[in-house]
Structure 1
Amino acid sequence: MKETTWKAGWIWGGNDESPRNEWRCFRSSFDVTRETAADAVLRISADSRYVAYVNGVRIGRGPVRSWPEEQFFDTYSIGHLLRSEGKNTIAVLVLHFGVTNFYYLRGRGGLLAEISSGGNVLAATDPSWKTAKLKGQDSSSPRMSCQQGFAEIIDARELEEDWIEPGYNDSLWEQAAAVAEVGEGPWTSLIPRDIPFLTEEKLYPSRIESLQKVKPPVYTAAIDLRNAMVPASKEHANPIQYMGYIATTLSLAEAGKVTVGIMQSRGEKLWINGQRIEKSYGIDPERYYEAELEAGDHFLLLDITQGDHGGAYHLAIHSELKFSLQSPDSAGETPWLLVGPFDDAEYIDTRENKQIDRNEPHYIQAAGAASLEELASVQSWIRPLAAAYYTDQDVFGSNVWRPVAERYALPPSLNACLTATEQYGVIPQFRDGDTELVIDLGKQRTGFFGFKIEAPAGTVVDVYGLEYMKNDFRQHTFGLDNTFRYICREGRQQYESPVRRGFRYAVVTIRGTAGPVKLHEVYMVQSTYPVVEAGTFQSSDPLLNDIWAISQHTTRNCMEDTFVDCPSYEQTYWVGDSRNEALVNYYVFGELDIVKRCLRLVPGSKDRSPLYMDQVPSGWTSVIPNWTFFWVLATMEYVEHTGDKAFAAEMWPHVRFTLEHYLTHVNADGLLEMRGWNLLDWAPIDQPNEGIVTHQNLFLVKTLRQAALMAESAGQASEGKPLKERASRLAQAINVHLWDQERDAYLDCIHADGRRSDIYSMQTQVVALLSGVAEGDRQDKLESYLIEPPASFVQIGSPFMSFFYYEALEAMGRVPRMLDDIRRNYGLMVDNDATTCWEMYPNFKENRANADLLTRSHCHAWSAGPAYFLGRTVLGVKRIGDGWNKVLIEPDPCDLTWARGAVPLPNGGTIEVDWSIGDEGMAIRVSAPEDIELEVKWPEALTGKVSIVRTKKLPL
């Protein structure tokens, strides 16, 4: 239900309606009586994110991610925080991104807040509110990634922490400006929050992993080349390419060696004084260039022509000699000049074939210039790099490249900071270096990192979050600046970052201190969707128990205000991923509102693409057809899971809309043929961006059939009948055109030029079985491949694809084969100390760049399938009626001797199963609500005893 009655209006401050990375404070004071305080509520929303305080007490963060046309707002009961004597104060910190990313579309800065009680408005945003930019926050801090907002640099010497308190003097603050009434501006409608507030659970680390003396490079920098070179790119999150250079003057006091390091290399070319410098060492994406230089000034020209989706460009310069950098024209805010772009191109997605013109004559003329004068022919393309896009406080670069790193024994007293006590650990100091602590949180976590510290003013605390370490190997988060810098004021202080991050290891480096530093506390405020761990699983195999546990923990870590792919690199709601994540959630947590919210967000992309986008709400207008198909499947699975036919009726028009648009891409042979990101798996299968992709056609068959069933549930059977007929015709076309008689398999694709693929993959055969397209002898042949995959076929490359493989194996009754695969692939994760499931398997060069890189993301919810399948197959709990009104208990013990666990039900309660095998056969105990019809089916060749316990409903 949409909210329409507001007396508040949207407000903002400062001179820029959408400033880049600005943290802005707002305050207002009001009076209440004892009567009006009791029922007071706050309604609030902001662009982009807020942290709200009442009388100095933090009450919440928000809002949930929204399409700007459907802005969500939050409601809090705040009466318990108000006082009838004296002024009450509401204070709000608004974090405005000022750039579009994968979970936010750039609008404008804004705050909307209203406190009311019994119909009386006590406070409402209007020009009487006071506002100021948060002192000490550096807006030039690096972009975290193309998917996210910004890392942070905070100088606590400038912070005024009491600005949230009632007694703070805000007389020097400016008056807020009214920017829009409700229903105006980017936020054309307001919708009440549709899920509970996320958790805020303070957790402490398990141990300090190591202590090192370190030194960073002499000079580091992080540059937003994307927005600097192509300023309009801040309005969208589509990939771009641009052609150009950056240049600086390096001045050396004496002759010697200088090294230039690039921490996110994209194939740069470096010239110093017109001489091309070849890479000296480094494994991509790290590249290091060494040069012996004379004393004096040297002109550095770096070709940064590249594709750029966003994020920071990290570079560093190091020498044992004294040097400085300055802009070659001596006039810029930063040491660098931009040269270009000579050509640039925007992509709606990365599958497009647009190319920049590398033969552009001015670009060629500028290459290898030895001085600013030699760039005279391209003078009109030269401009200073603005300070907004540049910082020389690069925490990420200082962690990736450490010219000095020496390990020392860890003093036991340091562990005192790992608990909530008054004890503290004194940080060891080095006369000629910084002190680095690696702190293990014990598990992958997601939320807000904080610490309490006592230090001299100016002490720098750098924090860098890592997901994986082993011995001396650190898996740096290339593509993600998972860092922040805090510069201490004098004395004891606490800082808790308001920026969400995910990691297991916190690399905390103390730099530049002038005296003793005491670390009192380190913690993570874990913030996830509030769940009850209603689902359980245990068995006679400890490995399977561990695998179930990491699958459950992965799912929880990836439940925020939507399902997200991972809590570190992206925090993005990928539509296709969430289909499998929802099924896992049904078996481990049983949450429904988050699933409905995710499903409802997808049609909001229809004005950007009628084929619906693959991640929402997002500024990247990208389509993966399979992800849209998985959304349809997930919608129907939700209807079947809950029995909610009203939801089917709500969603059916959106399903029909996008499928009708997909069917316009069917060619004369009856096959889906289109340009798109035709993805299914991270493996070298043949899935070109144009042409006829077999797995895509197969999933469309399954989707059309499920859509027809949804139409029936929605009371629109006649509208679904044509889709069912189209599914049959498409299945026939697939069998005619995409089956290879000689190979006895479905080929991967037919390319846009008509060439038939010579690649055959397990992925395609799995989907042919799941879709029901393979029948008769073909079905038998493909089922044999699932048991003994042909060596010449491309093998499965991700746990995401394994989910579909396990679905096919379960349908075949091949549960032992499924358990073998789970033990092998997920056992590798457990053997490598995983506490969550990996994004990829390390079985293809596409998946790992070197022997230590086991996967990209070490916490990825599309990989948590074992928690679903162990509950369905080993425990044997399966829904056979809509809304779980009828349930089949069909355990498959395989090689296990016992298993027990619980599966949550959509209407509350659980089904509990406890089975064991002994000398007298199998004993099965089932506990289930009295209104559920149960059917128990014995495993093959086993009999025994069944006991059923019925739980009663509470009286209404």
Structure 2
Amino acid sequence: MEFQMNSAIKFRNNTKLLKKARQTKPKLLFKQIVPQKVVKVVADQRELFGYRAVSQPQKVTELDRLSLGKGDRIVLDLGDHQVGHFQVKVNSIGSPMDAPLWLHVVFAELPAELGTIHEEYHGLLSSSWLAEEYLHLDVLPSLLKLPRRYACRYIMLEVVDTSPKWKVTFSEPLFTAESAVSSKQIAELNSGDPLLDKIDQVSCKTLHDCMQNVFEDGPKRDQRLWLGDLRLQALANYATFDNQKLVKRCLYLFGGLTTEDGRISANIFTQNNPIPDDTFLYDYSLFFISTLADYFTHYHDTEVLQDLFPIAQQQIEQALQLVNQQGQVVLDSEWPIFIDWSQEFDKSTCAQAVTIYALRQFIELAQKMKISIEPYQVVLDKLTKFATEKLYNQQCGLFVSGSRREINIASQVWMALAKVLPPNQNHELMEKVLNKMFPVTGIATPYMYHHICTALFETQHSAEAIELIKNYWGKMLEYGADTFWEAFQPEKPNFSPYNSMAINSYCHAWSCTPAYLLRKYLPAEKNK
């Protein structure tokens, strides 16, 4: 993983588009949650990450009967993953306070985060993202209201020190959860398969907790708007909460903050005034077109299309500058492609396919805008011809990638999604994938697993797609997931793109898509 630092790049602020983004900012909904129980986190090697939460006899309503001294701790269980703010009453018991209370508060999505909290951190991302606070309270009693927002299920209150003369009690813990939407807005799936229904419920919860002032990638860490995540969140949103304004807001934010040459940043910081990051990803820029096309298909909002079509056009024009005379996409090292966190496979054929995929959608939008599509159709034909003549291996019936002519699953999936081959050959392509590349290995994220499932559904391999959803997202449920994770390799469950499980996000936007896939494709299966 490499951090991009492009401080010399200058951005433009389109005041018209940013004004429309401000006008669609949601009014958050709040829900007060009392922790359900007190638990103890214990080591258990039978658990995936080596720890589990065990219920304790103490009742949350009777916390003030429990006095804690130096080194003591209690762990509160909210009962489910939540995003919001925490408060608790703190008091002293015994002699008068002759020293401040030194308190350590930790917020965790999984028990393992508490089990390993005192281990030294060596991750690639800043340790400032670790969800913990060290506080000194000089006067008790006090109502401790922490100002930062947290994503968690478990809250640990650890007394670092008091003095030998007095101890601490806690009472009336309260967590105020927040989201742009209410879980009451969506109907249950009722597929007839309990596992699929549970996967759908957790998918909806994942999306719910990531829907804040924007579609966040993850409420634990980053807490910002990423374009790749937005595209998938928007699809899941259309099938569930159907919140039009939030998608519109995010599209206007990206459209209003392009570089001077028209490129869109991969993500935007949105805590105060929106600030585009100096990180650029080839596929994410093109997915602005996809997100706009999906939005228009769902809402037929001509105002948004007219406002943002020029921005979409800039993205495709920038991408087509990387297409050579033969019709091959030649990536620029300063504009890398993401596809998946895994770096174990060549991604050049994926770049070819994503360009074709986005260009097809752009041409459809151009037709709606009554813009001449002829020059774009010419490039599309060149891109497709290169893919079928130079990248498609007729002998094995699979696409190759890179100078070593590597055959990997991501290339096949994206070529299937781009519909480079006729429908019958597309079906055969994914048939070969099932026969030669399953079970899937080397893929690190639910993001890429979503695309594998979509390619299977789109090529009439629905049973296999459903089985993959059950095996992959269902495996996270087996491991205790309340919301679905940022990174997960079933063959290497401890994988972290940041070299530390402590910094991984366990509620992540791009993992919510079973709610979309099941609602879109299951009805079609039933109607066959």
Smaller-chain TM-score range?
Answer: 0.7 to 0.9
Distance 1:698 1:413 in 2: 57
What is the alpha-carbon distance in structure 2 between the residues aligned to residue 437 and residue 642 of structure 1?
49
Query: Is the CA contact (8 Å cut-off) linking 1:842 and 1:854 kept in structure 2?
Result: no
Are residue 702 (structure 1) and residue 357 (structure 2) matched? yes
Is the counterpart of residue 870 in structure 1 residue 518 in structure 2? Answer: yes
Structure 1 position 744 matched with structure 2 position 403: no
Q: Which amino acid aligns with 2:371?
A: A
Equivalent position amino acid for 2:464 in 1: R
Q: Which has the higher contact order (CA 8 A, sep 6+)?
A: 2
Q: Which amino acid aligns with 1:511?
A: V
- State the Cα deviation string for residues 623-643 of structure 1 (Å, max 9, x = none): 111111222111011001011
Once the two structures are superposed, what CA deviation does each residue of 1:578-626 show, in whole Å capped at 9, x if it has no partner?
1111010111101000101111111233226633111124453111111
Query: 3-state DSSP class of the match of 2:294?
Result: helix
**Where does residue 499 of structure 1 map in the other structure?**
148
State the distance in 1 between where 2:12 and 2:68 align. 49
1:827 maps onto 2:474 in alignment: yes
How many Å apart are 1:546 and its aligned residue?
1.0
Q: Distance in 2 between matches of 1:438 and 1:474?
A: 14
- Tell me if the contact between 1:452 and 1:522 (Cα under 8 Å) persists in the aligned partners: yes
Output one character per residue of 1:728-758: Cα deviation in whole Å (capped at 9) or x when no partner.
2211122222223444321233xxxxxx134
Total equivalences in the alignment: 484
Equivalent residue in structure 2 for 1:481, among 130, 134, 147:
130
> Identical aligned pairs, as a percentage?
21
Q: How does 1:884-899 map to 2 (within 5 A)?
A: 890=524, 892-893=525-526
Instruction: For structure 2, list consecutive stretches of 5 or more residues without a partner in the other structure.
Output: 1-10, 43-51, 270-274
1:533, CA displacement in angstroms? 2.1
Candidates 102, 106, 109, aligned match of 1:464: 106
Q: Which runs of 5+ in 1 are unaligned?
A: 1-66, 73-187, 213-406, 417-422, 750-755, 877-889, 894-937, 940-956
Counterpart-to-counterpart distance in 2, 1:733 and 1:539: 42
Instruction: Choose the corresponding residue for 1:784, options 423, 431, 440.
Output: 431
Matching residue's letter, 2:177: Q
In structure 2, C-alpha distance between the alignment counterparts of 1:861 and 1:817, rounded to whole Å: 24
Shift of 1:848: 1.3
Alpha-carbon distance in structure 1 between the residues aligned to 2:112 and 2:324 = 51
1:601-680 matches, within 5 Å, as 601-607=253-259, 610-617=262-269, 618=275, 620-675=277-332, 676-680=335-339
Q: Is the 8 A contact 2:283 2:351 kept in 1?
A: yes
Report the residue type matching 1:592 in the other structure: Q
Shift of 1:528: 1.3
Say whether 1:805 aligns with 2:452.
yes
- SS of the equivalent of 1:764 reads helix
How many Å separate the matches in 2 of 1:529 and 1:792? Answer: 38
The letter of the residue matching 1:711 is A
Pairing of 1:91-110 with structure 2 (within 5 A):
none
- State the partner residue of 2:378: 725
- TM-score, normalising length from structure 2? 0.83
Q: CA deviation at 1:677?
A: 2.2
1:56-67 aligned within 5 A: none
| Residues 497 and 549 (structure 1), Cα distance of their counterparts in 2 relative to 1, 3 Å cut | same
Partner AA of 1:438 in structure 2: V
**Is 1:772 aligned to 2:412, yes or no?**
no
1:586 is matched with 238
Deviation at 1:814, TM superposition (A): 2.1
Displacement of 1:573: 0.9
**Structure 1 match to 2:86:** 449
TM-score using structure 1 length = 0.47
The 8 Å contact of residues 563 and 598 in structure 1, kept in 2 or not, is answered as yes
Q: Which has the higher helix share?
A: 2
Letter of the aligned partner of 2:367 in structure 1? E
CA contact (8 A) 2:113 2:502 kept: no
Q: C-alpha displacement at 1:524, in angstroms?
A: 1.8
Distance 1:659 1:558 in 2: 29
Q: What secondary structure does 1:561 align onto?
A: coil
- C-alpha contact 2:36 2:79 (8 A) present in aligned 1: yes
> 1:745–1:544: structure 2 CA closer, same or farther, 3 Å change rule?
same
**Equivalent position amino acid for 2:60 in 1:** N
What letter is aligned with 1:628?
S
1:197 maps to 27
2:67–2:169 CA contact under 8 A, matched in 1? no
Indicate how the Cα distance of structure 1 residues 519 and 780 shifts in structure 2: closer, same or farther if over 3 A, else same. closer
Is 1:762 matched with 2:409? yes
Query: Is the Cα–Cα contact under 8 Å of residues 262 and 314 in structure 2 kept in the other structure?
Result: yes
- Can you list the C-alpha shifts for 1:214-265, whole angstroms capped at 9, x where unaligned? xxxxxxxxxxxxxxxxxxxxxxxxxxxxxxxxxxxxxxxxxxxxxxxxxxxx
Matched AA of 1:724: Q
Counterpart residue number, 1:568: 220
Equivalent pair of 2:37/2:56 in contact (CA under 8 Å): no
Q: Residue type of the partner of 2:374?
A: K
How many angstroms does 1:711 deviate by? 1.7
User: 1:747·1:759 contact (CA, 8 Å) conserved in 2?
Assistant: yes
**Alignment deviations for residues 788-830 of structure 1 (CA, whole Å, 9 cap, x no partner):** 2436986543211122222222222222111111111111111
> Is the 8 Å Cα contact of residues 684 and 846 (structure 1) preserved in structure 2?
no
Per-residue CA deviations over 1:39-97 (Å, capped at 9, x if unaligned) read xxxxxxxxxxxxxxxxxxxxxxxxxxxx994799xxxxxxxxxxxxxxxxxxxxxxxxx
Alignment correspondent of 1:953? none
CA shift in 2, pair 1:792/1:635, >3 Å: same
Cα 1:789/1:561, change in 2 over 3 Å: farther
Checking the alignment, whether the CA contact within 8 Å between 2:41 and 2:111 is kept in structure 1 is no
Give, in whole Å, the separation in 2 of the partners of 1:537 and 1:669.
47
Question: Which structure 2 residues correspond to residues 75-94 of structure 1 after superposition, within 5 A?
Answer: none
SS of residue paired to 1:464: strand
Q: 1:728 to 1:855 in 2, by over 3 A?
A: farther
Q: How does 1:213-232 map to 2 (within 5 A)?
A: none
Q: Which residue is equivalent to 1:428?
A: 67
Contact 2:85 2:176 in 1 (8 A): yes
Task: Check 1:808–1:413 CA distance in 2 against 1; reply closer, same or farther (3 A cut).
Answer: closer
Aligned AA (1:436):
R
Equivalent runs, 1:508-527 vs 2, <5 Å: 508-514=157-163, 515-527=166-178
Q: Which amino acid aligns with 1:528?
A: S
Q: Is the 8 A contact 1:613 1:628 kept in 2?
A: yes
Kept in 2: contact 1:449–1:525 (CA 8 A): yes
- For the 8 Å contact 2:327–2:379, the answer to whether it is kept is no
Amino acid at match of 1:680: I
Partners of 1:190 and 1:600 lie apart in 2 by 7
Give the whole-Å Cα distance in 1 for the aligned partners of 2:438 and 2:25: 47
Question: Offset of 1:685 from its aligned partner?
Answer: 4.2
C-alpha displacement of 1:834 = 0.9
AA aligned opposite 2:338: L
Q: Which amino acid aligns with 1:729?
A: K
- Output the amino acid matched with 1:209: V
- The structural deviation recorded for 1:701 is 0.9
The aligned residue for residue 903 of structure 1 is: none
- Cα gap change, 1:535 to 1:630, in 2 (>3 Å): farther
How do 1:846-865 residues align onto structure 2 when only pairs under 5 Å count? 848=495, 856-865=504-513
Amino acid corresponding to residue 499 of structure 1 in structure 2: R
1:815 is aligned to 462
Secondary structure at the aligned position of 1:600 is classed as: helix
Deviations 1:541-575 (A, max 9, x none): 22111111100000011111111111112112110
**Is 1:681–1:798's contact at 8 Å kept on the other side of the alignment?**
yes
Is residue 359–residue 380 contact of structure 2 (8 Å, CA) maintained in 1? yes
Deviation at 1:492, TM superposition (A): 2.2
Q: 2:36 is matched with which residue: 188, 193, 206?
A: 206
- 8 Å CA contact 1:203, 1:525 repeated in 2: yes
Q: How far, CA to CA, are the matches of 2:417 and 2:178 in structure 1? A: 36
Residue 193 of structure 2 corresponds to residue 541 of structure 1? yes
Bigger Rg over Cα: 1
